[in-house]
């Protein structure tokens, strides 16, 4: 009987200890804070430092550096997050472009990246990297006899891979955008008639190269060139 009583006592003690452990208060959690505020479009405009021009500017370009502006602005990425990008434009293009990119942001239109052309060796490298940009004192892609409207800073190329350009010789720029010549079904980052981006540019008075005989789906300009 003593052995039975002793065993029962040990069992009772173990059960009591286990119960005490199981009923200890769980670590308190900090109260959840308010949700992050929705991302908002923001932009800052400043004169262009020399290091933000790099090889995109050279002597004899039609617009002097003092008439260019650097825009730092927010945009949505393909990762579904808001990012900050940079773009060099003509001073007269600042207002319409802020209007357009605000509309694009509100529509959550994704932009792969937005970097100044000084970060690239040339336009071909920037297009292959799917970079959205404006000012670049260079010839027309595929036609070196003519100066591109980008040299004036009032033309923009958006998502070049998703919106390729077919030059007068039938060459696709960039080459890695060839798969996007098929415009249906609509894919993220593509620009189409009457979507948020093309509509915003049209309302700003700019024209879209996607309507040309040799389509330039990435290109918008103030004078249609």
* CA-closest candidate to residue 162, choices 127, 196, 121: 127
pLDDT at 218 over 70: yes
- Residue 44: per-residue pLDDT: 98
Ramachandran assignment for 6, one of left (phi > 0), alpha (psi -120 to 50 degrees), beta (any other): alpha
| Least confident window among 20-24, 33-37, 143-147, 171-175 | 20-24
- What's the average model confidence in pLDDT over 43-52? 97
**Structure token digits, residue 130:** 């799917």
Mean pLDDT of 211-216: 96
Inform me whether the pLDDT recorded for 2 exceeds 50: no
In angstroms, the CA 88 to CA 55 distance is 13
- Check residue 117 and give its pLDDT: 97
pLDDT digits (tens, 9 = 90+) for 15-33: 444 444 444 444 445 455 4
- Taking residues 77-105, report their average pLDDT: 98
User: CA dist 112 to 9, 82, 126, 129, 167, Å?
Assistant: 71, 11, 12, 9, 23
Contact 87, 132 (CB under 8 A): yes
Q: Give the confidence band of 153 by pLDDT, cuts at 50, 70, 90.
A: very high
Q: How many beta carbons lie within 10 A of that of residue 39, not counting itself? A: 13
What number is the average pLDDT over the span 9-16?
46
* pLDDT tier at 63, thresholds 50, 70, 90: very high
Confidence of residue 141 (pLDDT cuts 50, 70, 90): confident
């Amino acid at each position: 009987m003593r052995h039975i009583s002793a065993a029962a006592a040990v069992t009772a003690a173990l059960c009591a200890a286990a119960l005490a452990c199981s009923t200890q208060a769980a670590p308190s959690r900090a109260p959840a804070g308010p949700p992050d505020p929705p991302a908002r479009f923001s932009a800052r405009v400043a004169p262009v430092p020399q290091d933000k021009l790099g090889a995109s500017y050279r002597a004899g370009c039609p617009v002097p550096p003092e008439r260019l502006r650097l825009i730092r602005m927010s945009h949505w990425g393909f990762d579904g997050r808001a990012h900050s990008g940079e773009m060099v434009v003509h001073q007269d293009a600042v207002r319409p472009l802020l209007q357009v990119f605000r509309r694009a942001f509100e529509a959550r239109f994704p932009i792969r990246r937005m970097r100044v052309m000084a970060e690239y060796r040339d336009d071909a490298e920037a297009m292959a990297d799917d970079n959205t940009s404006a000012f670049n004192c260079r010839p027309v892609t595929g036609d070196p006899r003519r100066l591109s409207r980008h040299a004036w800073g009032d033309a923009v190329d958006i998502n070049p891979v998703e919106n390729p350009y077919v030059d007068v010789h039938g060459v696709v720029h960039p080459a890695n955008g060839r798969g996007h010549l098929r415009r249906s079904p609509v894919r993220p980052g593509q620009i189409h008639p009457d979507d948020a981006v093309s509509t915003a540019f049209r309302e700003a008075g700019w024209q879209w190269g996607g309507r040309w005989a040799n389509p330039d789906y990435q290109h918008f300009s103030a004078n249609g060139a």
